[in-house]
Amino acid sequence: MSKIYQFLSETTDVSRFAIRFFKDGLKPPFETEEIIKQSFVIGYKSLPLVGITSFIMGLVLTIQSRPTLVEFGAESWLPSMVAISIIREIGPVITALICAGKIGSSIGAELGSMKVTEQIDAMEVSGTNPFKFLVATRIIATTLMLPLLVILSDAIGIFGSYLAVNIKDTVSFTLFFNQVFDSLSFSDVIPAIIKTFFFGFAIGLIGCYKGYHSDKGTQGVGRSANSAVVVASLLVFVLDLIAVQIADLFYEL
């Protein structure tokens, strides 16, 4: 019962934290400079890791899928299959998990160390609103940057697939990408992009919550960073499950 109580209690606290963000964090004036700074840190500095992972993902997915399609004489469907797989599901989820590990832990550790060293308390005493400056800016930046990272990730992954196809065959760049775009529709792209905003919001919210409510001491900072990654990653899967169910309803209509 204690575990269930702890889960429900923390769920309530996170919900209150999210409500506080919508009530206080989205009120003007906005910390524009800090939002831009956090967007640079969260978006631009995460791009190399996301790009390398996406490239390898597209390469491996194509190499692993090709033998099966060859058996059925459906090798020409390879670009379409890989593109739909990456854009609908693999690209958004893998990118979100990478960001949950990199960004979630970074935010949790950063805010946790500020909480432990009483910098947040000092900001409150000096008249600065630490919630707007530290929490709202990071959640907004994560929510805005993750969709951009996913779009770039999808493009890099499909390019990796193009190179993998040309390991065995010779397919022109134009022909490959014509097949890719012919197989895609707005019903594939739009739901996949929309759900990444929720992924980004969840990662930023959990990272900030864990750091902002970190326990005292260096161990508390470590626990905040670790739990931010675990909870954010789990929440990404839960949100993805919900998004897939909603998208299926639209496909049926």
Could you read off the pLDDT of 115-133 as tens digits, one per residue?
888 888 788 777 778 888 8
Confirm whether 21 is domain-assigned. Answer: no
Percent of the chain with pLDDT over 70: 98
Quickly list H helices, 32-136.
32-42, 47-71, 78-85, 91-99, 105-116, 119-125, 130
Distances (CA, A) of 23 to 16, 17, 66, 177, 205: 10, 10, 51, 45, 14
Contact status, residue 214 vs residue 115, Cβ threshold 8 Å: yes
Confirm whether 226 is domain-assigned. Answer: yes
Higher-confidence residue: 7 or 82? 82
Q: What distance in Å separates the CA atoms of residue 196 and residue 88, rounded to the nearest whole number?
A: 11
> Is residue 252 scored above 70 in pLDDT?
no
Weakest mean pLDDT among 137-141, 211-215, 230-234: 211-215
Q: What distance in Å separates the CA atoms of residue 51 and residue 56, rounded to the nearest whole number?
A: 9
- In this prediction, residue 149 carries a pLDDT of 95
Higher-confidence residue: 219 or 113? 113
Q: What distance in Å separates the CA atoms of residue 238 and residue 220, rounded to the nearest whole number?
A: 26
Confirm whether 140 is domain-assigned. Answer: yes
Q: What are the tens digits of pLDDT across the range 37-64?
A: 999 999 888 999 999 999 999 999 998 8
- Split into its structural domains, the chain has a count of 1
- In this prediction, residue 224 carries a pLDDT of 84
Contact status, residue 196 vs residue 64, Cβ threshold 8 Å: no
Which amino acid is it at 242? I
- In this prediction, residue 3 carries a pLDDT of 76
Confirm whether 7 is domain-assigned. Answer: no
> Is residue 218 scored above 90 in pLDDT?
no
For 136, the domain range is 30-252
- CA torsion through residues 86, 92, 97, 98, sign: positive
Contact status, residue 191 vs residue 90, Cβ threshold 8 Å: no
Confirm whether 209 is domain-assigned. Answer: yes
Confirm whether 136 is domain-assigned. Answer: yes
Weakest mean pLDDT among 32-41, 66-75, 131-140: 66-75
Q: What distance in Å separates the CA atoms of residue 10 and residue 253, rounded to the nearest whole number?
A: 37
| Local confidence band at 251 (pLDDT 50, 70, 90 cut-offs) | low
Q: What are the tens digits of pLDDT across the range 83-95?
A: 999 998 899 999 9
Q: What distance in Å separates the CA atoms of residue 215 and residue 201, rounded to the nearest whole number?
A: 23
DSSP 44: G
What does the pLDDT average to over 170-187? 85
To 5 degrees, how large is the angle CA 44–CA 46–CA 48?
90
Higher-confidence residue: 118 or 110? 110
Confirm whether 23 is domain-assigned. Answer: no
Confirm whether 18 is domain-assigned. Answer: no
